């Protein structure tokens, strides 16, 4: 990847004004007909690799970073449950595993709350790395407009702290014909931000109860 790409743009996605939260700096680098997205340099290189997505001209991608005042093990105990996303994703009404045994390749059917431009989504588990704390899934069906959606969520310690976690969630998705890239990214980022804020609250409450 060239050190000074000819085309790049910077997008800032603020989670909220809480000082414990981070700002995800995403830039798109043009290489031929493919864009590549990476989070900010504050994320370790080993983690950045999971958030580098090839993006076609009709797709958009972005990332959100959330710092949580709880150990990685506590946060991971919530995130790793592919069969129970409603534990922290408030837009999910229910989830049922429809294929697989919880390992890579497992399929789930998610039903979302009313008010969103969707009712259900069929999703496939792509990565579940218990050692590196990485979970990825892709949307493979359902009645929604998030075609070819793929999400990657990683957890790593917050600096030298044993009781802090940085969560990075990135995604790539097709831009619907009636929408712009900006509109699509804003919509998905809003959902991801809400999910990660909810995750922070749940994990921090859990950590206070068990420590």
| CA-wise closest residue to 58 among 34, 31, 85, 84 | 34
CA distance 123 to 106: 8
CA distance 36 to 15: 22
Domain ranges for the chain, please list them.
Answer: 8-210
CA distance 127 to 38: 18
Chain mean position to CA 25: 14
> What single-letter DSSP state applies at residue 31?
E
The answer to whether residue 133 scores a pLDDT higher than 50 is yes
Residue 115: per-residue pLDDT: 67
Predicted confidence band at 41 (pLDDT cuts at 50, 70, 90)?
A: very low
Please tell me the pTM assigned to this model. Answer: 0.81
Predicted confidence band at 21 (pLDDT cuts at 50, 70, 90)?
A: very low
Fold of 8-210: Alpha-D-Glucose-1,6-Bisphosphate; Chain A, domain 4 (3.30.530)
Helix, strand or coil for residue 188? helix
Name, in order, each residue with C-beta under 8 angstroms of 181's C-beta and a sequence gap of 6 or more.
Answer: 60, 175
Chain mean position to CA 40: 15
Higher pLDDT, 176 or 22: 176
Whether 67 and 165 have beta carbons less than 8 Å apart is answered as yes
Q: How many C-beta neighbours within 10 Å does residue 12 have?
A: 9
pLDDT tens-digit profile of 78-116? Answer: 999 999 999 999 999 999 999 999 999 999 999 988 766
| CA-wise closest residue to 51 among 61, 36, 38 | 38
Chain mean position to CA 197: 12
**Listed range (47-51, 68-72, 196-200) with the worst mean pLDDT:** 47-51
């Amino acid at each position: 990847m060239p050190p000074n790409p000819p085309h790049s743009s910077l997008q800032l996605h603020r989670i909220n004004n809480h000082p414990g939260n981070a700002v995800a700096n995403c830039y798109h680098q043009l290489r031929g007909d493919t864009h590549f997205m990476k989070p900010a340099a504050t994320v370790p290189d080993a983690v950045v690799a999971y958030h580098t997505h090839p993006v076609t001209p009709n797709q958009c991608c972005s990332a959100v970073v959330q710092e949580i005042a709880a150990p990685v093990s506590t946060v991971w105990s919530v995130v790793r449950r592919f069969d129970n996303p409603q534990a922290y994703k408030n837009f999910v009404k229910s989830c049922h595993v429809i294929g697989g045994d919880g390992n890579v390749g497992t399929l789930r059917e998610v039903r979302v709350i009313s008010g969103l431009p969707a009712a259900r989504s069929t999703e496939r588990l792509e990565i579940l790395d218990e050692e590196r704390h990485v979970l990825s899934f892709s949307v493979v069906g359902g009645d929604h407009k998030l075609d070819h959606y793929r999400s990657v969520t990683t957890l790593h310690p917050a600096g030298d702290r044993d009781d802090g976690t940085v969560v990075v969630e990135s995604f790539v998705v097709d831009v619907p014909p009636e929408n712009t890239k900006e509109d699509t990214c804003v919509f998905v980022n809003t959902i991801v931000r809400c999910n990660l804020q909810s995750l922070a609250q749940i994990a921090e409450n859990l950590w206070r109860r068990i420590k």
